Each structure stands twice: as C-alpha cells, then as structure tokens.
Structure 1
Amino acid sequence: MSDTVEGRWAEIFGPRYLPATTILCLGVALFAFNAFLSSTALPSAVNELQGVELIAWATTLYLVFAIVGGAGAVIAKERLGSRWALLSMALVFLAGSVIAATASGMPQVLVGRAVQGLGEGVVAALCFALIPELYPNRLVPKVFGMQAVIWAIAGFGGPAGAGALTEFVSWRATFLVNVPLVLLFSLMVLRVVPAGTTGVVRAGFPGVRLTAIGGGILMIALASILPFAPAMALTVVAALVLAWAIRRDRRSAAPLTPSGAFWSNTALGPGFWVVLLMPVAGAVTAVYLVMLLQQLWGYGPTLAGAVGAIMAIGWSFSSVTVANVRKRSTRKVLIRTGPVLLAVGLFGVLMGLQLHLPPLLMVAQALIGMGFGISNGYTMLALIESSSAADRDRTSALIPTTQSAGNAIGAAIAGLAANAAGYATARTEPEVLASIVPLFATGIVIAVLAGIAAFAMVRRVQVQREAFVEQPLPAAH
C-alpha cells in the first residue's frame, strides 16, 4: 500500500461532494452555534423569566442530552436508516428550539434545551458516521479540517450573532433562527442521504445503558458546582456508573460502542482515550482563562474573550494546514505531537499568568489550539480505518459523543481541582495565582496521559497494518 494519499480541498466543494459537504457543515454548525448560545442569549432569558439560578443548567442539560443522543445514534440509524434518522432527529431539535423560544418560564427553557440536545446529539453523531460513507479516505482529513473551521467560526460568530439578535430583536430569535437552518438541512438530507436501513435488526432498546450514561455525566456536571468533599464522592459514583455502563455495553447483543473501544489491544483502545482525555485537559483554559484574565489583569469581557479565542484560531489554522499531509509517517508524528503541544501550551498559559506576560500566554493559547488541530483529524481517521466494517458506524458516531463527554468531565475535574486548591475563596492576587497551580498541573498531567495513549495508539495502528499486509492471499482454484 502506498504511503501517500491524494486528496484536494477543491474536491469536497466540487459538484460531486458539495451536497454532502453542505449537510455536514449545517449539522456541525447547528451543534456548534447552539453550544455557544448560552454565553449571550440566556442571560437575557433568565432576566426576563426570573430564573438566574438555573442558567448553568440550560447548558448542562443540552450537553448531557447531546451525549445520550450521540450514544444512541447508531441504534437510530439501524432502525430508521440514515435519512429518516437524520430527518426525525432534526425535527426533534427543531421542536426543542420552538419550546425554548416560546417559553413562559425557565423550566420550559430547560425542557427545550434538553430536547434540542437530544436531537442534535444524534444529528452530530450521524454526520460523523456518514463521513466514511460519503467520502473516500483520502478526503476525510479535509472534511475534519472543514469542521474545525466551522467550530472556529461558531466560537466567534455564535456569541456575536446571538448577541446581535438578542439586542436588536429578542433572545427568543436566537432559538427561532434554527427554523430555516433545519429546513435547509432537511432538504439537503432528502436529496443526498440514502433512505435504506442496514438490514440489521437488533433486539431490545438500550434504555438502561443510555440512562446510566446520561445519569453518570449528569452527576459529573452536578459535581462541578458542589463543595469539594460531596463533589469528589459524587464524581467517584459517576465514574463507577459509567464504567458499569461501558462494561454492560461490551456484553450486549446490540452494543452502542465499537468492539474494543477504551479497553482493547487494538488502536480503538488507546485511541478513544486520546479523544476523551484531550478535551478533559483542555477544559482547564476553556472554563477558567477568561475569568482569570478579568480577575488578575483587569481585562474587560470582550478583550478576555478575544484572548480566549486565540485557541480556536490556532485549532482552525493548523487543522486546515495539516489536512494536506499525505505521508502516513508524518500523520503518526502529528497524532503523537498533539497532546505534547497541549501540555506545553497549558504550562505556558500558567507561566504567562504567573509572570504577567501576555505575549507568552497568547502563544501558549495558540499552541493549545494547534495541539488539537494537528492531531484530531488524523486520530479520528485512524480510528475509522482501524474499525471493522461492522463497527465503523459505531466508531464514527462515538467520536463526537466522546469529545462532548470529555468537555463535561473536564469541566467537573477542573472545578474540583480549583475548589480543592482554594480558588473560590482566594481574594488577593497571590492567593489566586497560588490556587491555580494545582488546576493547571491537573490539566498537564491529563494531557501527558493523552500523549501516552497517543503513542500506544500509533504503535497499535502500525501493528494492525503490518498484520493486514502480511496476511497470505487466498489460494487460487
């Protein structure tokens, strides 16, 4: 097999693949925009509806139900087929948007956000599952690069667009803007996505496992707002619940996860740990950096947010740049280097804060983004290529679900580390600077663990490829 893979950017936007690219762009944009919605539109909603104490749960429920939806996405595809699964879940997402937009109280907003998350979790996971169906392997890195650009645009444009709609129209308009987007998405799905099912009928609905997954993630989210001792206890319980759910799923006749994910000697074992642990480590700056810049350096929300967004710029730019890499040997280097840049970037941000060096902090933020950007696409491609034909859908669908779980778990772990170090009670600058050292140290350790998993993944990918090449050809008859 050749060590090079041809593929050009023009192809994914050419006549053959443009409809599929449009579907994926819309599917990812819906998820990304609504993930950033809470930072701008929801404060106005809670002020009008008198529910400020519930604002955090509007995001928490969206993410938790998105994770549950993503975990069950392959079941929806097997039962309904890709086309009808996407259409039905897009309508679920649309229903959630309308419920939230017409809310007369915060409980109704929370219901709408949960329904949104459930529908969009399935849509996002199925969009990932469609990538190996709609594109050849040589174009997959370009597709992942394109998705990184959409996330970067959403990181900037989502809050800005939602802010403009909220200021000049209403916070309700930020939910209703989903209506034309969902209708356009549905029309494209009807045009491009095949209607047939897999022909596989699996017994039973995995309600217990989905409930355990959702409950475990919800407990971790709850732990992030509790005092240290109860939070630690709840996190341990949540970890046990999730471990039980994964173990039960491995023995099921209708598994939600691909065979070997997290726990095997194949590339899927350490590979999914990379996908999970990198967002966990990255949550340190995602959760705390903007607040620290305002607290320590007196930055306003706009300037602090712009510095925080440097990570998205680094992610997007590097992802597009390395999407042209053709040599498999270079791709392996990128997979291994990503977590290293993440760890170095976290250390650089910590030093920038400690020494009051804005240039160092900004460079470190860019390195964090580059760590994700240069490795994510090829990590995902390696996982897809390492999966059996029977497991490919589950592998593709599990990737965005695992990333969302990593973000949720990372926020909880960051909260635990910060609270344990006394960040919540720190009043002076030296106290704040001292309290964030354990926070960043935790993130760096987790990034190092992701690096160890990345090295193991690359080694096992190579073993699998050599085993494939060395298989004897069938005898001629």
Structure 2
Amino acid sequence: MAVSAQGVTDVRDAPHVPGNVLASIGALLLGMLLAALDQTIVSTALPTIVSDLGGLEHLSWVVTAYLLASTAATPLWGKLGDQYGRKRLFQAAIVIFLVGSALCGMAQGMGQLIAFRALQGLGGGGLMVLSMAIVGDIVPPRDRGRYQGLFGAVFGTTSVLGPLLGGLFTEQLSWRWVFYVNLPVGVVALAVIAGALHIPRRFARHTIDYLGTFLIASVATCLVLVASLGGTTWAWGSAETVGLVVLGAALGVAFVLVERRAAEPVLPPKLFRIRTFTLSAVISFIVGFAMFGAMTYLPTFLQVVHGVTPTMSGVHMLPMVVGMLLSSTLSGQTVSRTGRWKVFPVAGTAVTAIGLLLLHRLDETSSTAEMSSCFLVFGLGLGLVMQVLVLIVQNAVSYENLGVATSGATFFRSIGASFGVAVFGTVFAGRLEDRLTGAFRGVAGVSVDALKSDPRGIAALPASLRPAALHAFAQSISDVFLYAAPVALLGFVLACFLKEDTLRGSVTAPDVTETLASNPVERSSYDEVCRALSVLGTREGRRQIYREITERSGYDLLPAASRLLLRIKKHGTVEPGLLAERSSLPLAVVIAAVRQVEERRLAEREGLDLVLTEQGREVAERLALTREESLAALLGDWWGPGRPTDLTQLVRELTGELCGSDREQPQNGAPTGSR
C-alpha cells in the first residue's frame, strides 16, 4: 500500500485467496480457454479442412453449427446450474466438449464434422456461462470484477492466438490437431475441478423455458438453412426453401405466444417495447453478421488467393483482431468515464461499412500493407460498437430485466453471426460457380466442380490458367464484403436513432468475454450489478477510498485512522502490529493512525488490542453508512422504494468487505461468503 506525502493511503493490497480457490480459478480459466479458443482457432484451418473433406459450399456450417448450438444451450446451462449445482454441470460441459472435439478430429466427411461441431457447441455454451457463474460462488463480491477481468484477458488473448495456433497446427501437424489440442487441456481442467473446486450448495428454483429455447433455436436454424441452402443446393422457389420459410414463420409466431405465458421467458417480449433494446438488438445482429462472416472467409482469401501458409494467414489477420481489442477497450473506458456513448455505435457502424468496402477492393494483386490496413480499419469499426451495445442495453432496462437483457443483446449478435456466416457462404458459393464456369467454359481438362471442392487444384492447372482461377476466387470472396456493406450501413442508420440516456453510475464497460464471445453470457441481474459494483469499488479503492469516505462523512481524520476504525468495527478488536504485518500499510502510518484515534478517544487499549469507545463506534458507523450510501447512489433508480432485497444485501456485503479485510483480523476467520 502506497502512502503519499500527505499521508493518504491508496488501497492496492490484493486479498488473500486460499490456494484451492486459486486452483479452481485456474481450472475455470482453462474451461474458458477451451471455449474461447475453439471460436477462433478453426478459422485458419477451414481451407485445409475443405481441401481434405470436400464440400466448399458447406464450409460455413462448420462455424454455424457451433454458434447455433452454443447460443441455444447458454440459457439452459445457466438456469440448470442455479437449480442443480454448477460443479457437476461444469464437469459435464467439459466432457461433452471433449467428446465433440475428439469426434471432430476423427471426422471423415463434412457432414460428420458439422454434426460433431454442434455437439462441441453444446458443451462450449456451458463452459462459457458456468465458468463465469462459478466465480460468483467462490469469490467475494469485492473481488469478482478483478477475477472476471482475468477471463476477459484470456478471451482477448485467444482472439489473437487462435488464428495463429490454428495455422500452426494445420501446417506442422494436421487440421485434426485443431480439435485434438482440447483434450489434454480439458483433462487437466477436469482433474483440478474434481479435487479443488468446492462450491457452496445454494440452489435457486427456476421454471426453465425449455419450449421457448427449443422454438427460438428452431427459428434460427430455419433461417440459417434458408440462407445457406437457398439459391445453391435448393432453388429459391423450390418446395424445400418455401417450406422452410413457412415453417420458420410459424415457429416464430409460436415462440412469441409461448414467451408471453412463460414464467421465466428466455427472451421476454416486453423488452422489445424498449426502443433502445430493440435498436441495440438489431445492431448487435448486424455486428455479428459482419464480424463472423468476415472472420470465416478472410483465411480462405489469404490462403487460396495469395498462397500464404495457414500460419501466416493467422499473422495477416492480427491487425483486425488487434483493432477490435484496442477500439473495444478504449470505447468502453471512455464511456465509463464520460457517460457519453452514442458517438461510438454511430461511428463504429460507419467505420465497419467503410472497412467492408475496403475489403471489397482487395484482389490477388493487393500488397500485404494494403491488406493489413483494410483489416485494421474493419477491426476498429467492430470494436467501437461491440463494447458499447451491451452497456447501453444494461442502462436502458429495469433491474429485474438486467440479466436477461444483457444476454439478449449478445444472443442477437450470436444469431447474426450464424446468419452472416451462412449468407456469406451462399454468396461466395454462388459467385464462385458463376465466375469459374465463365472463366473455364470450353476449356478442356478443367473441372469447375473439382476446383470448388478442393482449391489446391489451382496449383495443378497450367500456368496460363491459374490467374483466371485465382481471380475467380478473389472476386467471389470480395463480393461477399460488398454485399455485407449495405447491412452495416443499415446499422449506421439505426444507430442514429438511439436515444442517449444518462448512464447509471453502476453501468460500466463489460468484460471482453461479453463483447468478443460468439455465444451469450448468461448472468442474473444480481450478478450483473455485483460485477459492476465490484469493478467500481476496486477502482475507487485505488483512488484513495478512505480519504473520500472520511471527507464525505465530515470528519477530520487521517485516512489510515478511518481504515483502522472500520476494521475494529468489523472484527471487534485490532492489534496494530498485526495490521501492519498483514497489510502493506507501513508501520509508521499505523502508529500515526493509532495515536490519532487514541488522542480523540475513538478507541482504547485492551492489552495489545484496540477496541472502539462509544464515540468511536458512532464515527465508525457513520463511515460505514457513507460507504453504503455511495454504493447505493451508483444504482440510480434501481435503488428505489421497491428495490429487491438481494440488492440491499449486496450493498451491505460490499460495504463490509471494502471497509475491512478479513486477513487483517486477529483470528483466522473465513472470508465473507458470497451469494
């Protein structure tokens, strides 16, 4: 703990965390690593997978199957974890994920791979939601923001490393190792969780909306099937295409009717009466559409058209990922500091549209510098809008809808990602067939179907024919970005209609897992507020929290003296020597604080310990109340007369933890429990 020249303390000392908790956090991070890595590591391996298994027209389904399954499963994993306990469910999610990974690695055809990716997605949805939820079971509210930040860091790291590792495994070993690499990591996570993770048994009864979950997943599947198969495998006017459209519409109507009557709907219809939520949901859909569509086909462009290795295609994509991380982080921090947010979705959708138009200009002659610049612009645009969309949705809804609105915003991004990948795939396959047919019509010995199924066939063409084939692939992929640009422009128009409401003090930039993850992060309203207040509390602590609450309470005390009084209030007694030993507070500062509270008769000696006097008890009560009021003020209109009891409990818990650290008490007490 640092001490300024004025004697003001700056609380930076990390809490003492038991070894088994640290081991459990490590295992949870491994679980998150598995799910996060699998969303990015596959992209650079896709061209090689297609060359090996065939089925270029179905390439998009390798990504889409995972996205749809993980998106549909997320709310179920969250509520089942509340109801039946999270440890066993988390272990089950790991097992499902590992089985899916092993089967993906052994797939002998594109149909098998797509089916096994869906199984993998079911487990991946559980890994994502349960790893975040278990943090709330084993870490006190004060420190959840810090640990959830670790999960964000893991996800951000995998976003960068995923394409690189995917290329490295594909090039040096086999594309199958993109999936096999999950097995040793998952086994370690299972072993650590079995031995170290001990979660308090707190069950919450839920009426799980199985029917609503099934219906919305079915609607999404119908839409994606129409987008991916219509115009290619089936004609647009065919009975299959029309039948899927009709079925999707009927299931959509059924979903609305079911959700109106559901006790705990997976997506409450009343949210769509809030204009900000509705606009944000549509913009989230568009962001997912553009982001994952591009991330799926850019490696194909790099490897097929420019002939780079799978590893180098991952390197070439780094500017896009770095741009996303950079602008996402900066926009979130700026909004949290200034409270102004509308400029970011407006600018982000505009820059994304510009990025797509720049990507459309790329061809087989584009230089590395030109491609990197285009990738960077596109990534910056996505990052500007992703972070803020979750934040403004949280700000627009009531407390009771906070959790479901947060997951709802990311849910629509996931559906957009599935739909975008499918649409991009349809456009690419259709344009490629037309261009290859036009380029090689009447040319003997060239099979268009063979080139579509295995792009490696380009290398076997005569030198005079290769440029035409490369140009066909380049133009087909770049056309995809041109078709996506109007969708991004629609997002720009919708963003202009967003109403910039004042941010609540408790609404802060969400962690990276909520802005880069493809599948929603399902947390309760309580968990969302807990995350936000713990982040604010930690940040405020670093900014000399004790001086602030002392001044607000109207006392002329050293910040260290206020800290001392609050610890005595919490623990009954405090031994000054032990306080100096167990914290990073220098002994001289402790002595000055002790002298002040004794001189002002706020505390007195009982042997080596200090105890509060009647006057000291009043001062400590006032200091604690001030801290509670400052936290409550951050909740804004959520802290009204009819506020939920869990909010009151959370504020009191955080007040106790931020005003007195358990590791500084004389006895070995257990850490304050979490909800």
**Aligned match of 2:379:** 369
- CA apart distance, 1:371: 4.0
**Aligned match of 2:220:** 217
Answer yes or no: is the 8 Å Cα contact 2:59–2:425 preserved in 1.
Answer: no
Deviations 1:202-239 (A, max 9, x none): 27x61x43332332222333222431862985568646
Instruction: Provide the rounded CA distance (Å) in 2 between the counterparts of 1:364 and 1:129.
Output: 38
Specify the code of the residue in structure 2 equivalent to 1:83.
Answer: K
- CA apart distance, 1:64: 2.0
> What are the ranges of 5 or more consecutive residues in structure 2 without an aligned counterpart?
1-9, 440-470, 508-633, 644-675
Among candidates 194, 199, 206, match of residue 194 of structure 1 = 199
Deviations 1:337-357 (A, max 9, x none): 045223223214414754979
Instruction: Provide the rounded CA distance (Å) in 1 between the counterparts of 2:79 and 2:293.
Output: 33
Answer yes or no: is the 8 Å Cα contact 1:316–1:373 preserved in 2.
Answer: yes
- CA apart distance, 1:407: 0.7
2:96 counterpart of 1:92: yes
- 173-182 vs 370-379, which deviates more? 370-379
Instruction: Provide the rounded CA distance (Å) in 2 between the counterparts of 1:376 and 1:24.
Output: 25
Answer yes or no: is the 8 Å Cα contact 1:340–1:371 preserved in 2.
Answer: yes
Specify the code of the residue in structure 2 equivalent to 1:440.
Answer: A
Instruction: Provide the rounded CA distance (Å) in 2 between the counterparts of 1:293 and 1:105.
Output: 24
**Aligned match of 1:249:** 259
Correspondence list, 1:35-50, <5 A: 35-41=39-45
Specify the code of the residue in structure 1 equivalent to 2:218.
Answer: G
**Aligned match of 2:419:** 409
Answer yes or no: is the 8 Å Cα contact 1:30–1:178 preserved in 2.
Answer: yes
Answer yes or no: is the 8 Å Cα contact 2:287–2:488 preserved in 1.
Answer: no
**Aligned match of 1:184:** 188
Instruction: Provide the rounded CA distance (Å) in 2 between the counterparts of 1:354 and 1:220.
Output: 29
- 147-156 vs 313-322, which deviates more? 147-156
- CA apart distance, 1:410: 2.2
Q: Does the C-alpha gap of structure 1 residues 126 and 374 become closer, same or farther in structure 2, counting only changes over 3 Å? A: farther
Answer yes or no: is the 8 Å Cα contact 1:284–1:440 preserved in 2.
Answer: no
Correspondence list, 1:63-462, <5 A: 63-103=67-107, 107-129=111-133, 149-187=153-191, 189=193, 191-192=196-197, 194-202=199-207, 206=210, 208-222=211-225, 223-227=227-231, 230=236, 234=244, 238=248, 241-242=251-252, 244-257=254-267, 260-261=270-271, 263-265=272-274, 268-283=277-292, 285-289=294-298, 298=306, 300=308, 306-321=315-330, 328=336, 330=338, 332-334=339-341, 336-351=343-358, 353-354=360-361, 362-363=372-373, 365-377=375-387, 379-380=389-390, 383=393, 394-395=404-405, 397-398=407-408, 400-414=410-424, 425=434, 437-449=482-494, 451-452=495-496, 455-456=498-499, 458=501
SS in 2 for 1:196: coil
SS in 2 for 1:333: coil
Specify the code of the residue in structure 1 equivalent to 2:212.
Answer: R
- CA apart distance, 1:269: 4.7
Answer yes or no: is the 8 Å Cα contact 2:42–2:166 preserved in 1.
Answer: no
Instruction: Provide the rounded CA distance (Å) in 1 between the counterparts of 2:480 and 2:111.
Output: 35
Q: CA RMSD in A?
A: 4.9
- CA apart distance, 1:61: 2.2
- 27-36 vs 163-172, which deviates more? 163-172
Answer yes or no: is the 8 Å Cα contact 2:47–2:299 preserved in 1.
Answer: no
- CA apart distance, 1:469: 6.2
Instruction: Provide the rounded CA distance (Å) in 1 between the counterparts of 2:640 and 2:493.
Output: 33
Answer yes or no: is the 8 Å Cα contact 1:224–1:416 preserved in 2.
Answer: yes
SS in 2 for 1:224: helix
Q: Does the C-alpha gap of structure 1 residues 12 and 321 become closer, same or farther in structure 2, counting only changes over 3 Å? A: farther
Answer yes or no: is the 8 Å Cα contact 2:286–2:488 preserved in 1.
Answer: no
Q: Does the C-alpha gap of structure 1 residues 13 and 89 become closer, same or farther in structure 2, counting only changes over 3 Å? A: farther
Deviations 1:347-368 (A, max 9, x none): 1441475497986764453344
Instruction: Provide the rounded CA distance (Å) in 1 between the counterparts of 2:428 and 2:110.
Output: 29
- 249-258 vs 98-107, which deviates more? 98-107
SS in 2 for 1:373: helix
Percent identity over the alignment? 21
Deviations 1:265-288 (A, max 9, x none): 286554444443321243453355
Instruction: Provide the rounded CA distance (Å) in 2 between the counterparts of 1:145 and 1:374.
Output: 19
Answer yes or no: is the 8 Å Cα contact 1:347–1:444 preserved in 2.
Answer: no
SS in 1 for 2:258: helix
Instruction: Provide the rounded CA distance (Å) in 2 between the counterparts of 1:292 and 1:54.
Output: 16
Answer yes or no: is the 8 Å Cα contact 2:106–2:176 preserved in 1.
Answer: yes
Instruction: Provide the rounded CA distance (Å) in 1 between the counterparts of 2:421 and 2:351.
Output: 20
Q: Does the C-alpha gap of structure 1 residues 343 and 424 become closer, same or farther in structure 2, counting only changes over 3 Å? A: farther
Specify the code of the residue in structure 2 equivalent to 1:264.
Answer: R
Specify the code of the residue in structure 2 equivalent to 1:342.
Answer: T
Specify the code of the residue in structure 1 equivalent to 2:251.
Answer: V
- CA apart distance, 1:120: 0.9
- CA apart distance, 1:68: 1.8
Higher helix share: 1
Deviations 1:284-317 (A, max 9, x none): 5335555567898x57466665444322111223
Deviations 1:36-86 (A, max 9, x none): 344455666676667777654333322221122124223322332222222
Q: Does the C-alpha gap of structure 1 residues 309 and 226 become closer, same or farther in structure 2, counting only changes over 3 Å? A: farther
- 219-228 vs 348-357, which deviates more? 348-357
Q: Does the C-alpha gap of structure 1 residues 244 and 366 become closer, same or farther in structure 2, counting only changes over 3 Å? A: farther
SS in 1 for 2:273: coil
SS in 1 for 2:85: helix
Answer yes or no: is the 8 Å Cα contact 2:135–2:148 preserved in 1.
Answer: no
> What are the ranges of 5 or more consecutive residues in structure 1 without an aligned counterpart?
1-6
- 301-310 vs 111-120, which deviates more? 301-310
Specify the code of the residue in structure 1 equivalent to 2:129.
Answer: A
Q: Does the C-alpha gap of structure 1 residues 210 and 353 become closer, same or farther in structure 2, counting only changes over 3 Å? A: closer
